Amino acid sequence: MGVTRAFPIKIADDRGKCASCPSICCRYITQKIATPRARGDFEHLLWQVSHQGIEVYQDEDGWFLLVHAPCAHLEASGACGIYTARPPICRDYSNDFCEIDEPAERHFRVHFRDYAALLDYCRKRFKGWAGKG
């Protein structure tokens, strides 16, 4: 499940690109994590990516968990159900350059969508890594 899509842009109101977007940024969250270095760090990441909707990536800003989970306030139309009272992080978000312009994945150095992908990486990185997969 990626977030790479192309959309026709229709600037319809003061929300600019957001007015015609299918709410890409409201369908997942990212959480910065400590850079994994040791085998134990990667074992923990393997556990995390074993859960549905969890991915791990690294970009120029570091390592992140990517959690696919739509906002509870996202309406079927793609509009925000609490737009006038939305949290500050949503209010402060700038769409000057967003995933409509270019998918975030283009800047990922590594990206693990699931257990098998991360396990393959671990086997290459650490000698003698076993494990199912």
CA triple 63-123-117, angle to 5 deg: 55
Residue pLDDT tens, the chain, 133 long: 444 433 333 333 456 777 778 888 899 999 999 999 999 999 999 999 999 999 999 999 999 999 999 999 999 888 889 989 999 998 888 888 888 888 889 999 999 999 999 999 999 999 888 765 5
Tell me, what DSSP letter sits at residue 47?
H
- Residue 69, helix vs strand vs coil: coil
The kind and range of the H/E element at 115 are helix 115-125
Listing DSSP states for 50-104 in one string gives TSTTEEEEEETTEEEEEEE---TTB-TTS-BTTGGG--HHHHT---SS-TTTS-G
Strands (DSSP E) along 1-133, which ranges? 28-33, 54-59, 62-68, 110-112
- State pTM to two decimals: 0.80
- Side chain identity, residue 18: C
The whole-number pLDDT of residue 66 equals 96
